[in-house]
Structure 1
Amino acid sequence: MLRIAVLTSGRGTLLRYAISACYDGVVDGEVVAVATNRDCPALDVAREAAIGSVGAYPLDSYGSLAERDAAMAADLLAAGADFVLVGGYTEVLDDVFLKHFPDRAISVYPTILPAFGELDESIGPALDYGVKSLGVTIHLRAPHSLSDGPIIAQIPIPVDVDDTIESVTPYIAAVEREHLPIVMQAFAEGRVIRDGLKVRIAASKRTVA
């Protein structure tokens, strides 16, 4: 069973997905902690869901990124978290945080990485470049990067030259909602295997009744 901590900075969309997937039994897990780097609506989502540990960790309240991330990791571990979902989180993570969750911190990025990585908003630049596919990349989080790290899954989404951020966002959200729980359940079942920069998901042993 995954004991999940969610890091976010916004409305808490992926947080809602994680809570629902656990509640519905799609993911064998529980969201036990939520951390943000600023005051944001996701904190209210977490409190409404009665998540046990909820807190904001603004960087300017600490002496450094490492100090802040060490404090944040300590609180998540105290809450019992053993897995981290980074969703819509606007800052990089220090090694001091990630060492507590080795190969257990995943991130969702709305392009087919490595294209258009390390951007605060990547959909617009990709569309401006005239790409024929956008998509969702689920990857292991790397230190001091928004988009680096071994890729776990990629789901392409065809786009048209007339598409806009507004027209494609619902499709990206639908892909995230469908595929994120699949990856999380693979972690819950111990089926995610890393070999250097390559990651594979072993076949599920679940049987259909």
Structure 2
Amino acid sequence: MTPIAVFASGRGSNFRSLVHHIQEGKLSCRIAVLISDNSRAPALEFAREMGIPAQVIHPAQFPDAERFGEALLSALQPRQVRWIVLAGYLKKIPANLITHFPNRIVNIHPALLPAFGGKGMYGMRVHQAVFDAGVQVTGVTIHLVNEDYDAGPIVWQEPVVIRDCRSPEEIARRVLAVEHRLYPQVLQWLVTRPHRVTGKRIQWNEAIYDPN
């Protein structure tokens, strides 16, 4: 079982989905720790209910991003974490953490990047922008994390048709259902199947199949 850390800032619905997939034997990972920047995050309470170690580390506690990254590393290294999985985590990942986990930090975004991405684009902000733009198709992007917001190599994308949606909230519900199904499957590929990253592209050493 690959030890992973999950970072979450809020309710952590994708975190819950990962836990359930692990319990069902569909994801070959062990969540070694949940990290949050928010002491009131519902994800923390769920982690405690599940017996998963949880820790609050906020960047405001440190003089700069480098010290913040060092604190995160201090929480991860003793637990031998191999991958970091972002599940609604709203803080920028420090450069020294990215250096320590090259192409092993993964994020999920509720739109088809590079559209509707970048700094400040998360959660309902994304769905509101999608709704206001009048597009008929949005989607889910799972990508590796680099030092720029939502700009790392794309691992997988799935479109979601929204032409009949009448509100951003309806878009959010439809997209979230896809996130919960897709994230565990793609994470399973990443931790179990040989691959290499060349520039912005991921090359798999064997065929992978659409999780639909």
| TM-score, normalised by the number of residues in structure 1 | 0.91
Question: Aligned to 1:124, which of 123, 128, 132?
Answer: 128
Unpaired segments ≥5 residues, structure 1: none
Partner of 1:36: 36
Shift of 1:150: 0.4
Deviates more, 1:183-192 or 1:14-23: 183-192
CA distances 1:118-169 after superposition (whole Å, capped 9, x unpaired):
21421111110111111100000112x3311000000100112653121122
Q: Is the 8 A contact 1:5 1:31 kept in 2?
A: yes
Shift of 1:191: 3.3
Q: Is the 8 A contact 2:9 2:90 kept in 1?
A: yes
**Percent identity at matched positions?**
27
CA distances 1:90-123 after superposition (whole Å, capped 9, x unpaired):
1111111112211111000000000111214211
Q: Is the 8 A contact 1:105 1:140 kept in 2?
A: yes
**Structure 1 residues 186 and 162: alpha-carbon distance in aligned structure 2, compared to 1, 3 A threshold:** closer
Aligned length: 203
Q: Is the 8 A contact 1:191 1:203 kept in 2?
A: no
**Structure 1 residues 192 and 18: alpha-carbon distance in aligned structure 2, compared to 1, 3 A threshold:** farther
Q: Is the 8 A contact 2:9 2:37 kept in 1?
A: yes
Q: Is the 8 A contact 2:3 2:83 kept in 1?
A: yes
Unpaired segments ≥5 residues, structure 2: none
Deviates more, 1:83-92 or 1:118-127: 118-127
* Structure 1 segment 1-209 matched on structure 2, within 5 A: 1-39=1-39, 40-51=41-52, 53-118=53-118, 119-120=121-122, 121-143=125-147, 145-160=148-163, 162-201=165-204, 202-203=206-207
**Structure 1 residues 171 and 64: alpha-carbon distance in aligned structure 2, compared to 1, 3 A threshold:** same
Q: Is the 8 A contact 1:116 1:126 kept in 2?
A: yes
Q: Is the 8 A contact 1:186 1:192 kept in 2?
A: no
Shift of 1:204: 5.2
Shift of 1:178: 1.1
Please provide the CA RMSD for this pair: 1.7
